[in-house]
Each structure stands twice: as C-alpha cells, then as structure tokens.
Amino acid sequence: MTSFLSRTSRYWILLILLLGLALRLGYVLTEPFELPEHDQKNYTEMAVRLLDHGVYGYLEEEPNTLVTPGFPLFLALVFKLFGYGDIAQAHMNVRILQAFLSLVILWYLYRTGERLFNRPAGLLAALFAAVYGPFVMAASLILTEILFLALLSALLYYQVRIMQENRTRDHIIAGLLLGLLVLTRPNAIILAATPYVFLWFRHRKPFFREIAIGVGCFALAMLPWWVRNWLTFHELILVSRGGAGNPFLFGTIPYNQGSIDWTKVQNGDQFGAGVERIKEGLREDPWLWIRWYTIGKMSTMYLDNIYMWPYTESVPVWYKALLGKLHYFLVYTGMFFAAVASLWNTGVRFLAVQLVLFLGLHLLFVPETRYTLGTFPMLMLITAYILIKAIRYAGGSFKRRTAGRA
C-alpha cells in the first residue's frame, strides 16, 4: 500500500490540496459571520488606521510597537488591493485568501514529511492538516494563525534541508522566513538555532559562515521594522514592547484559583509582577505551581478545549465527533512518540525539539488553546511517521506469515 502511495504521490497530494481548499471555502463562503470582536476587531481597526492616516498603532491612535507588523501589513495589503469600504466584504476577502494560503501549510507538511521520513508520511501529514478542524476554522479568523502556520511550515521544511544538505540557498531562505515569522509571531525566534545544533552534532563543526548567512538574512527581513522603530521612537526595539506582560501575569493564576493583587503591580510592570508571583508561589506551594506550569497548563490547552468553534456548529454531529477524536489522537500519539521515537529517529528528534521549545515557551503564559496550533505541524508529522511505520510493519508481518504457510 505504501509503495502504491509513493508511486502515485503527485495525484494524492493534488487531491489532498483540493480537499483542504474545498473544506475551507465551503466553510467561509457559507457561514454567516458576525462582525469580529476583540483581537480581530483590533487588527481591523489597526489596518484601516494605517491606510487612512499612515499611523501604525495597535489599540491607540498614536504609533506604538505593541504588535509586530507581519499580520497587520498583510491585512492592510488585502484591504488596499480589494477595498475596505464594506468591512464585512473586506473580511470575506481576507478569509478567501487565507483559504488559499492554507494550501501552503499542506504543501510544506507534505514536503517535510517526505524529506524526513517518506512520501506516504508526508501525504498523511498533509491529509491531517487538510481536515483538522482548528486549521479549517482558522481560515475564517482575522488573526495571525494562517499566515503564521504557512510561514512556520515553510521554515520547518527549509530547516530540514539545512540539516540534510547544508546549502547556502537554504540558509538564505530559512533566514528570511524566520524574519517574516518573527514579524508575525515574535515567539518563533526560539526555533532559530535548532538546525544548527543538529548540524554541529552531525559534523562536529560550528558552521560559522552558514550561521552568519542565516542571521544576516534574518536581520534583512527585520531591518525595515527596526528602522521604523528607530526613526519613530529614537531607540532600537527589536520586536515589540508592552504586549507580553499581561498574558504572562495572567498565566500566574494556578487553575484559575484566586486573583491578582493589583496593588502589588509596581508602576504598571506586569511582567515583573508575574515573576514575583511565581517566586512567591514556588516558596509557598511548590508542587501546585510546578504542576500548573507543566501538566496543568498542557491539559488546559490541549484537552479541556479544542479551538474549532463555531466551525463545529456547521458540520454534522458525527463529523464533529470525528474531528474531536482526530484532535485527541494527534495530541496523545504525537506527544508520546515525540518522546519515544526520538530515541531512534533523527527526524522525530528534530520535530520533538521544536515542539518542546515552542510548547515550553507557551507554558510561561496564560494557557490559551489558540496558541497550541503552532505545535500541530510537528504533532501531525510525528503521528504520520508512526502510522506509516506501523502499517509497513504490519504489512511485512502479514507477508512473512503468508510466505511461511506457503
């Protein structure tokens, strides 16, 4: 079976891409969306403010650096190209474009799985991404998710190429992609060094030239943002300022028990107040706080909720149940074999490192289910590898038993 998939992979990936596009367009074109609120509304107002007044400011009429410019500029570009007089139609234009942009995620998961493992694993990972409920629903959001996942999937692919072939072109592309990814979600910077660490372990060489190329291209992508911040605020602001303290502080409420004493937040320093709360908590009840910052937050993010409402209201009950089972299957299988299969497979080890880095960073903040989406490309690839390996093993065992009876 897997050899058949390998021989006909070009047809299968085309079908998977068409399936993914059909699911997304079918949802965004038929769902009666209301005008967005909260972050979606804030991003919309920010893009309109930028186009109408030339002011780049989030939540404010004055310039600021609360959010990096990746998604706001993407949103402003779509508004500029297709118009934004009718904001509901402008949002629909964004959703349709994101449905097509989602194909980048599917394609690069296929290519990454093919390179790390085999073509059937790549096809299966792409199929997971095509039908996974939160990925389908994310195409409807006026948020960073789809742009971020597309850039992340592409970055993972070129990081794999760096580890396998170490070509200058791949360092250039990966550096540029990392810059664009950080401009979309700054926390992605934590993924930067992993391929170079794997290169060092493989060759016992630091590859300073290649690192310099990657860093240089990353800086090139970031440079316009740095220049803007210098000219506007007369200081070097590398990513953003003022946006991380609040989710960090609100992540210091174990199991949502208790509240924050705002009288202890000195001079509005929410990040510093969060650090003090963690120190105090570890002194008074270390097991509670250690549990909260590990299995507690992981359970909240991955098990208590699935980030796909209201998409689940637009599908049959049986399909909704199936999407839930797929989610938990990816979480349990991917997490378990990220640890176990890392012992024998370098590809899984690379994905597991990126998964742990990304997850570890998010465990510091408020446990928001939405932010787990960035870990699912790794979980899908690992799960696909294990399933194909299990199928091949079962097929080989069946052939051996059949041959023995003959």
Residue 107 confidence (pLDDT) above 80: yes
Residue 69 confidence (pLDDT) above 90: yes
In this predicted model, what pLDDT tens digit does every residue of 169-218 receive, in sequence order?
Answer: 999 999 999 999 999 999 999 999 999 999 999 988 889 999 999 999 99
Largest CA distance in the chain: 81
Output the six-digit token pair for 194. Answer: 């992993």
Residue 240 binned pLDDT confidence (cut-offs 50, 70, 90): confident
Angle value at C-alpha 169, between 166 and 196, nearest 5 degrees: 35
User: How far apart (Å, rounded) are the C-alpha atoms in residues 220 and 325?
Assistant: 43
Mean pLDDT of 132-137: 96
Q: What is the pLDDT of residue 168?
A: 96
Q: Which residues of 88-120 are buried (b: 16+ CB within 10 A; e: fewer)?
A: eebbbbbbbbbbebbbbbbbbbbbbbbbbbbbb
More confident residue, 147 or 268: 147
Question: Are residues 249 and 277 in contact, defined by beta-carbon separation less than 8 angstroms?
Answer: yes
Write the single-letter amino acid at 201.
F
DSSP state of 34: P
Q: What is the pLDDT of residue 242?
A: 66
Q: Which residues of 162-176 are buried (b: 16+ CB within 10 A; e: fewer)?
A: bbbebeeebbbbbbb
Q: What is the pLDDT of residue 58?
A: 92
Q: Is 237 helix (H, G, I), strand (E, B) or coil?
A: coil
Mean of per-residue pLDDT scores for the chain: 91
Q: What is the pLDDT of residue 189?
A: 96
Residue 288 confidence (pLDDT) above 70: yes
Question: Are residues 107 and 4 in contact, defined by beta-carbon separation less than 8 angstroms?
Answer: no
Q: Is 405 helix (H, G, I), strand (E, B) or coil?
A: helix
Candidate from 137-151, 182-196, 360-374, 391-405 with smallest mean pLDDT = 391-405
Mean pLDDT of 21-27: 97
Question: Are residues 181 and 69 in contact, defined by beta-carbon separation less than 8 angstroms?
Answer: no
Q: What is the pLDDT of residue 295?
A: 94
Q: What is the pLDDT of residue 160?
A: 98
Output the six-digit token pair for 10. Answer: 């070009």
Question: Are residues 260 and 253 in contact, defined by beta-carbon separation less than 8 angstroms?
Answer: yes
Mean pLDDT of 363-367: 90
User: How far apart (Å, rounded) are the C-alpha atoms in residues 263 and 39?
Assistant: 27
Question: Are residues 337 and 347 in contact, defined by beta-carbon separation less than 8 angstroms?
Answer: no
More confident residue, 278 or 400: 278
In this predicted model, what pLDDT tens digit does every residue of 80-98 receive, in sequence order?
Answer: 999 999 999 999 999 999 9
User: How far apart (Å, rounded) are the C-alpha atoms in residues 187 and 200?
Assistant: 24
Q: CA-based Rg of the chain, rounded to a whole angstrom? A: 22
Q: What is the pLDDT of residue 47?
A: 96
Q: What is the pLDDT of residue 406?
A: 56
Output the six-digit token pair for 64. Answer: 């600021």
User: In this structure, how many other beta carbons lie within 10 angstroms of the beta carbon of residue 142?
Assistant: 22
In this predicted model, what pLDDT tens digit does every residue of 332-361 receive, in sequence order?
Answer: 999 999 999 999 999 999 999 999 999 999
Mean pLDDT of 6-31: 91
Output the six-digit token pair for 312. Answer: 């689940």
Residue 10 confidence (pLDDT) above 90: no
